[in-house]
């Protein structure tokens, strides 16, 4: 099964939305196989957002990502990257579709509640950036065949 990285950003922590977002992940059927709180620093953010370092908003983005701890999660499932990106919605919360996490909880282009990996390759690199191997638990939920048909696995 595919894996993806989710980050509940400081705006989600500050607004007490941890439960809301985790509830959606659980209800969808993505399998949470790693989860921890951590304080991000500039070094890890420069690597994580390396595609944005030249943008004018980069300093504000880094500052906002360090204002409180974040929750990082490894999510597992068939097509987990695409499934969680679709649940997350467009980058700008004002434009994100209702029903998505950003569409329902954000009115900002920056303070948009959650990070979601955008490709399988980036997901694996991001998981390795934020987690040590022993922090990821590769268990199979007992209800796996209530999530998926036998010929999907
Ligand atoms: P994504 O989070 O939807 O994958 P990216 O383009 O990878 O979007 O940008 C990473 C993060 O940088 C966004 O989630 C958002 O917090 C911030 N960001 C992106 N574009 C803007 C912008 O135009 N203004 C302010 N912040 C932005
Ligand atoms: Mg991105």
Q: Tens digit of pLDDT for each residue in 98-116?
A: 999 999 999 999 999 999 9
Looking from the CA of residue 91, the nearest atom of ligand 1 is: 3
Q: How confident is the model at residue 57 (pLDDT cuts 50, 70, 90)?
A: very high
pLDDT at position 90: 98
The proportion of the chain whose per-residue pLDDT surpasses 70, expressed as a percent, equals: 100
Mean pLDDT calculated for residue range 71-93: 98
What is the average per-residue pLDDT within 53-62?
98
- What pLDDT, on the 0 to 100 scale, is given for residue 47? 98
Q: How far apart are the CA of 35 and the centre of ligand 1, in A? A: 23
Residue 4 is given by DSSP the state E
Question: Which residues, in sequence order, are bridge partners of residue 8?
Answer: 71, 114
Comparing CA positions, the residue from 42, 2, 5, 1 lying closest to residue 127 is 5
């Amino acid at each position: 099964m595919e894996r993806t990285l989710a980050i509940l950003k400081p705006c989600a922590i500050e607004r007490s939305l941890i439960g809301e977002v985790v509830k959606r992940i659980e209800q969808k059927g993505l399998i949470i196989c790693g989860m921890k709180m951590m304080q991000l620093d500039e070094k890890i953010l420069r690597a994580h957002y390396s595609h944005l370092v030249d943008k004018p908003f980069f300093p504000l983005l880094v500052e906002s990502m360090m204002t409180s701890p974040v929750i990082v999660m490894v999510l597992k499932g068939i097509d987990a990257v695409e499934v969680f990106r679709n649940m997350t919605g467009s980058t700008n919360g004002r434009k994100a579709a209702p029903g998505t996490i950003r569409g329902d909880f954000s009115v900002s282009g920056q303070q948009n509640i959650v990070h979601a990996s955008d490709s399988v390759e980036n997901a694996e690199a991001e998981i390795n950036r934020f987690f040590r191997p022993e922090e990821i638990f590769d268990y199979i939920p007992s209800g796996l065949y209530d999530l998926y048909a036998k010929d999907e696995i």
